[in-house]
Amino acid sequence: MADSGEVTVERGGKQYGATYAVRNGMVDVKTHTETRSVELSPDQAPEAIARRVLNEILNAQRDIPH
């Protein structure tokens, strides 16, 4: 299990990325616009959690009027 790494997702032909690090039972996910921390789950790899959080961040940004 990696203590840190990078994840990407593709949306509309574009790649979006984030870095993640595992610290004190939390997964810290950092994009160019924000950082979120979520509890580490014994049922999911940190990379999977980081990818889910990245999707959540992208969904939240999509809902913000520009």
- What does each of the 66 residues of the chain score in pLDDT, given as a tens digit? 579 999 999 998 999 999 999 999 999 999 998 999 999 999 999 999 999 999 999 999 877 665
Q: How many domains does the chain have?
A: 1
* Range(s) of the domain holding residue 18: 4-62
Strands (E), the chain: 4-11, 14-23, 26-30, 35-39
Structure letter (DSSP) for residue 17: E
pLDDT score, position 61:
84
Predicted model pTM: 0.87
pLDDT for res 65: 63
pLDDT at site 22: 97
In this prediction, residue 35 carries a pLDDT of: 96
- Our CA dihedral for 14, 48, 23, 64, rounded to 10 degrees, sits at 40
